[in-house]
Amino acid sequence: MNRNEIIEYLKTPNCDELFTAADKVRNEYMGNEVYIRGIIEFSNFCCRNCFYCGLRTDNNKTERYRMTPQEIINIVETIYSKGIRTVVLQSGDDFGYSRSDICNIISLIKNKFDIAITLSIGERKNDDYKAFRDAGADRYLIKFETSNRSLYEKLHPRQDFNRRLEILEILDSLGYQVGTGFMVGLPGETIEDIANNIILSKNIMPDMIGIGPFIPQKETPLGHCSNGSVINTLKAIALLRINLKYSHIPATTALASLDKNGLVKGLKCGANVIMPDFTPDTEKNKYRIYDNKQRITFDFAKDAISKADRSLSLSRGDSLKKKEAIYED
Ligand code: SAH
């Protein structure tokens, strides 16, 4: 699909045909299974100041927490005991954990459990990424957030769009399965930007691509803005599925936060992953990247999977991207 076709689809009010086509591609290339990734939001400290995110350093209304390795291991134990074989460790960009602290957490988990580890801890030094990989991390999730360079730079003070893209390449060269993604409906974004986000995603050829609508958080500079559109998010999921046949695509928490059937709708237009969260209640309420976040429990995820008439897979759900390369040859 070229850029103009993508824009056409994004502008068309009737999307049934697009969703049906995406669902068919998903079934053919990814099968009927929905993979489960258990998330632990282990720290809400952050040194960045992203305009949209409630964890931003200037937000002094949030009480900050940091879990100990033992607290994290205990939650991994719960996740593992339910049969889930991927854990996502997510936090703000928190340098309160040194390179060796993170390596230590990874090795503790790997020594005890046969489980894939995805890190989602933001921008670090290249040597950190290498050390985390050597310690046993399997995957890394870092979104480019928007392909519009000037919007990116406006929303991320003192951060550089080129560095984001460079990190994605470095992670790939280190042998991580790489996840990226973007938000839909950031203030100032156009339909053309969404199309460019889809094209950039296609060029990156990630193992996983996660997208969700922008949702305001009241303690941020964008707290008064309106949220991104659910329908545009669903269209973007469908277009990603058609263009990136073998990438894992989650039905995200942000989508479920704006629409009570968001997970089911996402699964019906291309998504094949759900990421229930296992952060304990006390910390959960403090991990407020946006307001009115829907709690995705494992039961909530299972219910969405059965409503979408799909089957649950607890396996690691590794990347199928290599197959895509073969397919394209
Ligand atoms: N510090 C890590 C993890 C950030 S939170 C990192 O920067 O990668 C994970 C994701 O939440 C972000 O990548 C962003 O896409 C999403 N997010 C943050 N604020 C949001 C908001 N207000 N609305 C919707 N999604 C948001």
69-81 helix and 99-112 helix, angle to the nearest 10 degrees: 30
Give the C-alpha separation, 189 to 51, whole Å. Answer: 14
Question: Is the CB of residue 266 less than 8 Å from the CB of residue 248?
Answer: no
Give the C-alpha separation, 184 to 165, whole Å. Answer: 19
Q: How far is the CA of 53 from the centre of ligand 1 (A)?
A: 6
Say how many C-beta atoms besides its own lie within 10 A of residue 244's C-beta: 24
Q: How far is the CA of 135 from the centre of ligand 1 (A)?
A: 25
CATH hierarchy code of domain 14-321: 3.20.20.70
Say how many C-beta atoms besides its own lie within 10 A of residue 93's C-beta: 17
Say how many C-beta atoms besides its own lie within 10 A of residue 31's C-beta: 13
Q: How far is CA 93 from the centre of its chain?
A: 15
Choose which residue among 183, 253, 294 to substitute to test ligand 1 binding: the one with the highest number of ligand atoms within 8 A of its C-beta. 183
Task: Looking at the chain, list the stretches that DSSP marks H as alpha helix, in order from N- to C-terminal side.
Answer: 3-11, 16-30, 69-81, 99-112, 126-135, 149-155, 161-173, 191-204, 230-243, 253-258, 262-267, 281-284, 298-307, 321-328
What secondary structure letter does DSSP report for 85? -
What secondary structure letter does DSSP report for 295? P
Atom number of ligand 1 nearest to Cα 213: 24
Regions of the chain short of the pLDDT cut 70 = 322-329
Enumerate residues 6+ apart whose C-beta is below 8 A from 182. Answer: 143, 144, 145, 146, 147, 197, 201, 211
Q: How far is the CA of 143 from the centre of ligand 1 (A)?
A: 8
Give the C-alpha separation, 137 to 105, whole Å. Answer: 10
Instruction: Name which residue sits closest to atom 20 of ligand 1, judged by CA.
Output: 53
Pocket of ligand 1 (CB under 6 A): 52-53, 90, 92-93, 120-122, 142-143, 145, 183, 212, 214-215, 217, 254, 289-290
Give the C-alpha separation, 170 to 88, whole Å. Answer: 20
DSSP characters over 120-180 = E-----HHHHHHHHHHT--EEE---B-S-HHHHHHHSTT--HHHHHHHHHHHHHTT-EEEE
Instruction: Name which residue sits closest to atom 18 of ligand 1, judged by CA.
Output: 53
Give the C-alpha separation, 115 to 69, whole Å. Answer: 16
Instruction: Name which residue sits closest to atom 8 of ligand 1, judged by CA.
Output: 122
Q: How far is the CA of 55 from the centre of ligand 1 (A)?
A: 9
